[in-house]
Every structure is written in C-alpha cells, then in structure tokens.
Structure 1
Amino acid sequence: MQVYFLGTGTSQGIPVIGSHHPVCMSEDVKDKRLRVSVWITFEEASVVIDCGPDFRQQMLTSGCEKLDAILFTHEHADHTAGLDDIRPFFFRQKKDIPIYAHHRVLENFKKRFDYIFETENKYPGAPGVEIFEVKNNTDFTIGQAKITPINVNHGNLQVFGYRIQDFVYLTDVKTVEATEIEKMKGLKVLVVNALREEPHHTHFNLQEALDFIHLVQPERAYLTHISHLLGFHEEVQKKLPPNVFLAYDNLKITI
C-alpha cells in the first residue's frame, strides 16, 4: 500500500490569504499546505479520501490518472468542494465514480451539487457518481480490501475515519469513543489531525494528538490538518517522539 499526502493543511491552507504570519511567509516547501486529503493505492485500487477545493491541483501534481472511489469523512467545504473536478476521471473511465459517505453527507451533496445528482435532463458535462452510504460498524470492500469506518466526533459533528488493512486515516477529530479505538488495534500507520498547540473546540491540538497516538500505539504516526499556528515544519518535527512525523504535502509512504 502507498499513501500520498495530497494536502496536509487546515481549512484555509497555508499560506493563509493576506496573512503575514512567519509560517505563511516561509520559503520552506514543507510549510506550504493545501487542504487535507490523501491518495491511497492498494492492490489494484486507487482511492482518495476527501475531495477539497485543491483537488484539481493535487491530482495534477501527484500524477493520479485513475480514480476508483472517493471516501468522504464529512461535508465541510475543505473536504468536499472539489467534487465537480472528478469530471476528467468520469470522462476517461466512462463510468460513474463511486463515492462513499454518511447519509447526512450524501443529502448535503444533493443540495450543493444538485446537477451531479440529477436523474432527469442531466447536463451532459456533469460527472456521474455511484452512491454508497457508509454506516458505523458496517465494513465494506473496495476490490478485495476491507474498509472499516471509524466513527469519531468533530466537536458535535459526526465524522468518519477509515481503516484499510493496517492503515487508519482520521481528520477533524476532537473525541473518540473507546469502542472505536478498539478498531485501531495493531496498526502500522495512523494519520491523525493536530491543528495547533493551543486547545481548539473541535480539533485535537498537538498534545491531544500525541496522547491519542500513545493510546492507540501504532508503529508510526503522521500528523495532518495543520494550521500555520502550529509553527514551522522543521521546528515542530524536532519536538516529536521518534515514531511520530509531521506530514507534508506530496509526502509518500509505503506500508
């Protein structure tokens, strides 16, 4: 399995528009972060988790030419606003693109992207999607691989993370029930959000993320959904435990 970090930034990305914060002014490429997403390849499958407003740019940069499915964590714009940009994959592959999401998220899409979900007199330039509802405690498969939804909380909002083989991806997490932590036993790699050092009401801060990693005990962990307020990449990395890494855009890891 290969994991490609398409974006590792928070909802505004880094640099933030109009900001003169030192991290936003950094010339280090690792301090420049698009909105959060990953591209995962396993067996013959090519899957993206979340499809934010930087999706087109991320696909061009990564060289991704095949899209077998999109798994959505939740409906916020920084995770979903790029849905229209799946059109090239739809036109090339000549079949609907499977999308997996909570029922609430699918209903949200039908309002925001109504032209994609039209069944009559559909605009011919719109992409086609095949809808799959994700339910907690209900595994599903893509190819031969089992996908396990991980139910977590983004403040008061339900969010799904996903386990694929020995890899778990979580973002926009603030609290996790013990029953969901049990689903993460024996991991080789955990990806989890760490917004900043100061507490936040809907996201793990750095210490909360490190405490959660210690609880789950993966072999390796990568931090994502990072704000400029966390600090410079190289300085933050020096403070982390030996098996915890600050992810950055276009990082590729093999599991």
Structure 2
Amino acid sequence: MIKKAELLKITFLGTGTSQGIPVIGSKHPVCLSKNPKDKRLRVSVLISWDNYNFVIDCGPDFRQQMLQNPIPNLDGILFTHEHSDHTAGIDDIRPFFFRQGDIPIYADNQVIQALKKRFAYIFADINRYPGAPAVAIHEIKENTPFKIGNKVAIPIKALHNRLEVFGFRIDDFVYLTDVKSISKEEIAKLKDVNVLVVNALRLEAHHSHFNLEEALEFIAVVKPKKAYLTHISHLLGFHEEVEKSLPNNVHLAYDNLTINI
C-alpha cells in the first residue's frame, strides 16, 4: 500500500493553448466569459510529492503560475518540446536559482540545443551575467527512463505534426500535450494508467493537435481510470458546456485544479 506521503499531487498551472484564453483582442464569447474556468494560462503542470516539486514545461506565464501556486523549492523542469509556449518562462526560475543553485532540467537534445540558442546567457560557461540563472542539464532519450527525486519518469514519444514531443509517465500518472499521433509501441507504455492528461485543442480538426474527438478516441484506447483534457483553445467552447458532454471518466482540466493520485 502506498503511504500518503508518497502520493502525487498534480496542480494544473495552465491549461490553455499557445495564445491562452482570453486571446488578446478577441471578442469570441469564450474569451469574454466571466467564468474563471474559461480563463487559461499557457499549459504547464506541477507534480509534487513528499518534499519534491517538479514542473512539466515552463511557458511565458510561469511567474504568474508560481505566484498563484507557491512552492518553496523547484527540483526540476521536464520539457515536452521546444515551442515558446512551453519554454519561454525559463528566465523566471531565477528566484529558485538564487536560493538553490543550478536548477535541473530534463529534455532531449533538440530541446536543449534550442534553449541554448534562445537563452544563451543562461547556458554560458564564461563571462556569465551575474543575475542570470543557471541550469543542470539532464538529456533524456527515447526508451530510457530517468530518475527525478526518488521516482522514475518514463518518456513517451509522440508527434506534434512532424515534430517529436515527449510526454512522461510517473507512477500511474501520464502527461501528454501537443500530440497529433502516437505509435502503438508508445501507447503500450500507458498500460494500467490511473490518470491520463492529454491535449484536446478544439472541436474542428487541426494539423498538429488532437481535437476533442481524437482525444476521446485516444482515451478509449488507453482506458485510464480518469482522464483530463488540457491545451485547450477558446474554440473548444465554454468549460461548463463541454464538461457536461464528456464521458463520466473524462474531465476538462482548468487552471489551479489539483488532484491527488
């Protein structure tokens, strides 16, 4: 039996697509909604257990997310891929760096190289700017589980159109975002999952994301006990209306939602 102290606490820091909701200047009804569940920061999730705190992705809303969901320490960031809405907040690890030292990051080589190009001052070896944060790089590879704290993370490869992206399985929790297709071999890694988080961008088909129909079909294949949809755009519809239309074991995630596994 798992002790309570070892249970995972999942906090959805952001559940929106690359522009967030509301979209700047949009008059779409969902963007004008007064329901807090219809307001979505860029997608990210915090995974906590014992005294560990790990974040998957670190987008441009990271500072705001950390102020809304304060944590005393950040033990690492797992990156799914290099797109800006998943990486642009890396400079805001500075308060953690000043208290803790180099912040561990976990990413594949393509993401690491993209981060080095965009944030050269963070990765510089010489002539470092005194106020810049620093990171400890842990390169992840396909089919190679890696340790985070006292747990093991299993990388799960998928395709975001033609771009490789990685999701992660930690215990019986799986997080996948920006997925359009995934192989049978990778789906096999999701056997007996308790909670699955997966992207569902909108109702209409999209070239690089699951729409709602595709996400529900994927969930039906994986058969998790519960599933939560994330990376949601305003075009999916109002939170309350969409939630009522979903199967009993599927829910729309929303910003600041916490679940325990």
Report what 1:103 is aligned to. 109
Q: Give 3-state SS (helix, strand or coil) of 1:46's partner.
A: strand
1:111-122 equivalent positions in 2, closer than 5 A: 111-122=117-128
Report what 2:161 is aligned to. 155
1:30-41 equivalent positions in 2, closer than 5 A: 30-41=37-48
Deviation, structure 1 residue 64: 2.0
Structure 2 Cα separation of the partners of residues 248 and 186 of structure 1: 24
Of residues 67, 70, 79, the one that matches 1:72 is 79
Q: Give 3-state SS (helix, strand or coil) of 1:163's partner.
A: strand
- TM-score of the superposition, structure 2-length normalised? 0.97
Structure 1 Cα separation of the partners of residues 35 and 25 of structure 2: 18
Deviation, structure 1 residue 45: 1.5
Of residues 55, 59, 84, the one that matches 2:62 is 55
Of residues 176, 179, 189, the one that matches 1:183 is 189
Of residues 45, 50, 63, the one that matches 2:52 is 45
1:161-176 equivalent positions in 2, closer than 5 A: 161-176=167-182
For residues 30-64 of structure 1, give each alpha carbon's deviation from its aligned partner in whole angstroms, at most 9, with x where no partner exists.
00000000000023320000000000000000112
Report what 1:2 is aligned to. 9
User: Residue 138 in 1 paired to residue 121 in 2?
Assistant: no
For residues 155-181 of structure 1, give each alpha carbon's deviation from its aligned partner in whole angstroms, at most 9, with x where no partner exists.
000000000000000000000000000
Report what 1:20 is aligned to. 27
Of residues 78, 98, 104, the one that matches 1:91 is 98
Deviation, structure 1 residue 92: 1.3
Of residues 235, 246, 259, the one that matches 1:240 is 246
Report what 1:221 is aligned to. 227
Of residues 215, 219, 222, the one that matches 1:209 is 215
What one-letter code is carried by the residue in structure 1 that aligns with 2:26? S
Structure 1 Cα separation of the partners of residues 195 and 52 of structure 2: 19
Structure 2 Cα separation of the partners of residues 28 and 229 of structure 1: 16
Q: Give 3-state SS (helix, strand or coil) of 2:153's partner.
A: strand
Structure 2 Cα separation of the partners of residues 78 and 128 of structure 1: 20
Structure 1 Cα separation of the partners of residues 201 and 188 of structure 2: 24
Q: Give 3-state SS (helix, strand or coil) of 1:238's partner.
A: helix
Structure 2 Cα separation of the partners of residues 169 and 130 of structure 1: 23
Instruction: Please tell me whether the aligned partners of residues 44 and 143 of structure 1 are also in contact (alpha carbons under 8 angstroms).
Output: no
User: Residue 200 in 1 paired to residue 206 in 2?
Assistant: yes
For residues 92-125 of structure 1, give each alpha carbon's deviation from its aligned partner in whole angstroms, at most 9, with x where no partner exists.
12x2100000100100111100000000111110
Gapped regions of structure 2 (runs ≥ 5)? 1-7
Structure 1 Cα separation of the partners of residues 67 and 38 of structure 2: 20
Say how many residue pairs are matched: 254
Q: Give 3-state SS (helix, strand or coil) of 1:151's partner.
A: strand
RMSD: 0.6
What one-letter code is carried by the residue in structure 2 that aligns with 1:37? S
User: Residue 123 in 1 paired to residue 129 in 2?
Assistant: yes
Q: Give 3-state SS (helix, strand or coil) of 1:221's partner.
A: strand
Which consecutive aligned stretches of 4+ in structure 1 deviate over 3 angstroms post-superposition?
Answer: none
Deviation, structure 1 residue 128: 1.0
Structure 1 Cα separation of the partners of residues 180 and 71 of structure 2: 31
Structure 1 Cα separation of the partners of residues 119 and 49 of structure 2: 29
- TM-score of the superposition, structure 1-length normalised? 0.99
For residues 177-210 of structure 1, give each alpha carbon's deviation from its aligned partner in whole angstroms, at most 9, with x where no partner exists.
0000010001110000000010000000000000
What one-letter code is carried by the residue in structure 1 that aligns with 2:223? Q
Q: Give 3-state SS (helix, strand or coil) of 2:54's partner.
A: strand
Deviation, structure 1 residue 65: 2.3
